[in-house]
Structure 1
Amino acid sequence: MKYKLLSIKGQGGVNIGDYIQALASSQFLPQIDGFIDREKLKDYNGEECKLIMNGWYMHNAQQWPPSSKIIPFYVAVHFNSTVKDKLLSDESIAYLKKYEPIGCRDTNTVKLLQSKGINAYFSGCMTLTLGRNYHSEIKENKYYFVDPYFVTHWNLYTILYNAIYLLFHWKPICIIAKKHPDPKTGFRKKMIMTTFYREYKRFFRKEILINAEYTNQQSIEYIRKFPTDEELLKEAERLVKCYAKAKLVVTSRIHCALPCLGLGTPVIYTEDAHQSEASACRFGGLRELFNILKWDNGHLIKEFDGKTPLDDTSSWSNKTIWKELAERLATQCTRFCK
């Protein structure tokens, strides 16, 4: 039997979190015999293969349901609200019923499938299992800020406010602006990073913010640097190994935050309080797993216990309710891949 992984490349670049999901699935495969593009599932005409179907579905709904040459295991799937009608046609419902029960990454997908008479349950995300192969007992004194959420709505007041704040905090903001991967440059970038600094400084000491590593998980640069699926999977593995050794990760990416739970790395999830329905529908059942900083009307709001601002002496721990989900996922995937 052949075993393959899902790959996902978009015109706007790569979300390396999709390959972190693939990495989680790869832990259970006896071997990796290639990749199948998530947006071309119906077109697949290679050898019959087993495929763990965890992921976000999908941009190209015309490619659903998948090829009959794919033997699927439906676990940790999300059907987005933007394409739910196309993905739950009569043909699709009949197809999914053949592979019940369907494990869903979020409770919104559970409700959506159950409303169509499909046996579905909340499985959580495959990345919760990454501690199986990638947990590290060695922790470095490193802080990672991975796409931490913040936004500035520019008007005369915010321009003046940020300009004055920048003047009085020039050095630390310049250091952070140089590190942050935002492609903007010069004074404009410093003004943007002023918004980040003045709010996040309320919860993290200045020393943490200026010494942290800043990175992103979605960029066109991933395609330029890592043109093949194999290289992208390797880069995902490199990031996971970094997160495994981190002292703390702060991120708005669920496929950074969820892996950190599985790895046993302290993580704070940052979110937009006013995100779109298409974005919010991904989080049912997952949000409860995190310690959260919520961005609401230009300010961060803490939704967890504990003293802030955090410094190098602060002790930090995640919630533990994710562990049962991870154990069940590991058992199910091991059984499927035998």
Structure 2
Amino acid sequence: MHTQKIGYLEFRYGNNAKRRTVNVGDNIQSIAVRRLLNRLNIERANVVGIDRDSLREYEGEPVKLIMNGCFHDECFPLPPQIQPIFFGFNAETESVITKNKALFQKHQPIGCRDNATKRMFDKHRIAAFVTGCATLTLERREKPVVDGKPVIAFGAGSGVLQQNLLENIPKPILEDARLVYQREPVSAVPLNDGAVKKMDALAQTYLDLYKNEASIVVTPLLHVASPCVAMGIPVVLARRDRDDRFTAIDRLLPVYTPAEFSSIDWTAHAHEVEALKGAMANVAEKLLQGAKPVAGDLAVLSRTFEAAPVLQAPRSSKLGRRFRKIFGRR
């Protein structure tokens, strides 16, 4: 009997011949989706990896593909063998939507990774809702670590560590911290199968480090903050700007930018997201079944992601009092 294949995204970067490093956070997304499919009792033999950056050249067997993560114009049009499951979808530019309106209209409502993407669909009158990032479905660690160490995880570009952030990290955290640079050099793109496996293994190593050893994680990176929130690890998310990609996770924890670095609450605590995680998994399951998600699960997503950001950009001299009101001081 023929069984429908379920696809998750791999990242081989064949669209950028000049690339010399890869973002290991992409592989963390791949791992999260594979684990989610396992949670939904989909047999591993029926799960296949498909390269995001050569989607339109796909010539394999028919597949339902979880379309999570960031998509650029060169990912489209999709071939007929791919049935897209929009869960955690992020459009890199508005042209992704305008050039592929018929596709999105056919598959609406679109499950978006963030509010910024949802707003673009709203603008073009395509029904959409926010699911959050697939990495939020990773398993919570069983218990807090004993004698854990702080971890400072960073990357390149907008994911670099800001100098004035380092100046504001308390000395005990800074002196004991383990540094993780969540990018990795590559010799050539597109990545071959061996290189993809190597990056997956490295991503798993970082996830294990965060889960088993981190007392707190300080990071500017979405795909460090999001999986760590899911795993029940205290997170300080501090970066140079309020990037649109963070317009879902900023409903769960503060996104600090340089104006607020001196007011960061370093007594960060783990967040309880198990109900959200369960709703996300249920919605993904219904989408894979071609069914409408249950209203109760959609309500959980709506209450979470349609709320105001935990921390708004400062607008007045009342910033200090606002911080104390939001976080308190212990």
TM-score bracket relative to the smaller structure: 0.7 to 0.9
User: Do the aligned residues in 1 keep the contact of 2:24 with 2:182 (CA within 8 Å)?
Assistant: yes
State the partner residue of 1:204. Answer: 170
State the partner residue of 1:228. Answer: 195
Give identity over the alignment, percent. Answer: 24
State the partner residue of 2:149. Answer: 142
Residues 190-225 of structure 1 deviation map (CA, whole Å, 9 limit, x = unaligned): xxx9x84x75353322x3312211011123259799
Q: Which residue of 7, 23, 37 corresponds with 2:10?
A: 7
Q: Which residue of 230, 244, 260 corresponds with 1:281?
A: 244
State the partner residue of 1:218. Answer: 183
- Distance in 2, matches of 1:208 and 1:98, equals 50
State the partner residue of 2:262. Answer: 301
State the partner residue of 1:167. Answer: none
- Distance in 2, matches of 1:222 and 1:324, equals 42
- Distance in 2, matches of 1:4 and 1:332, equals 17
Give matches, 1:90-101, under 5 Å.
92-101=100-109
User: Do the aligned residues in 2 keep the contact of 1:199 with 1:300 (CA within 8 Å)?
Assistant: yes
| Worse overlay, 326-335 or 110-119 | 326-335
Give matches, 1:123-202, under 5 Å.
123-131=131-139, 135-140=141-146, 141-147=148-154, 196=163, 199-202=165-168
Change (3 A) 1:329 1:46: same
User: Do the aligned residues in 2 keep the contact of 1:101 with 1:121 (CA within 8 Å)?
Assistant: yes
Moved over 4 A (4+): 148-151, 221-227
RMSD over aligned CA atoms reads 3.0
Residues 154-181 of structure 1 deviation map (CA, whole Å, 9 limit, x = unaligned): xxxxxxxxxxxxxxxxxxxxxxxxxxxx
Give matches, 1:312-327, under 5 Å.
316-320=268-272, 322-327=273-278
Residues 85-114 of structure 1 deviation map (CA, whole Å, 9 limit, x = unaligned): 24422xx11111222211111111101012
Q: Which residue of 87, 111, 122 corresponds with 2:130?
A: 122
Change (3 A) 1:221 1:138: farther
Q: Which residue of 220, 243, 256 corresponds with 2:224?
A: 256
TM-score by length of 1: 0.71
- Distance in 1, matches of 2:34 and 2:200, equals 10
1:328 and 2:295 aligned = no
Paired positions, count = 270
Change (3 A) 1:40 1:137: same
State the partner residue of 1:36. Answer: 50
User: Do the aligned residues in 2 keep the contact of 1:266 with 1:316 (CA within 8 Å)?
Assistant: yes
Task: In structure 1, list runs of 5 or more residues that go unmatched.
Answer: 152-181, 183-192
User: Do the aligned residues in 1 keep the contact of 2:71 with 2:92 (CA within 8 Å)?
Assistant: yes
Equivalent position amino acid for 1:215 in 2: V
User: Do the aligned residues in 2 keep the contact of 1:222 with 1:232 (CA within 8 Å)?
Assistant: no
- Distance in 1, matches of 2:257 and 2:74, equals 36
State the partner residue of 2:67. Answer: 53
Change (3 A) 1:97 1:324: farther
Q: Which residue of 268, 272, 280 corresponds with 2:236?
A: 268
User: Do the aligned residues in 1 keep the contact of 2:156 with 2:183 (CA within 8 Å)?
Assistant: no
Task: In structure 2, list runs of 5 or more residues that go unmatched.
Answer: 14-18, 290-330
- Distance in 1, matches of 2:145 and 2:193, equals 28
Change (3 A) 1:122 1:324: farther
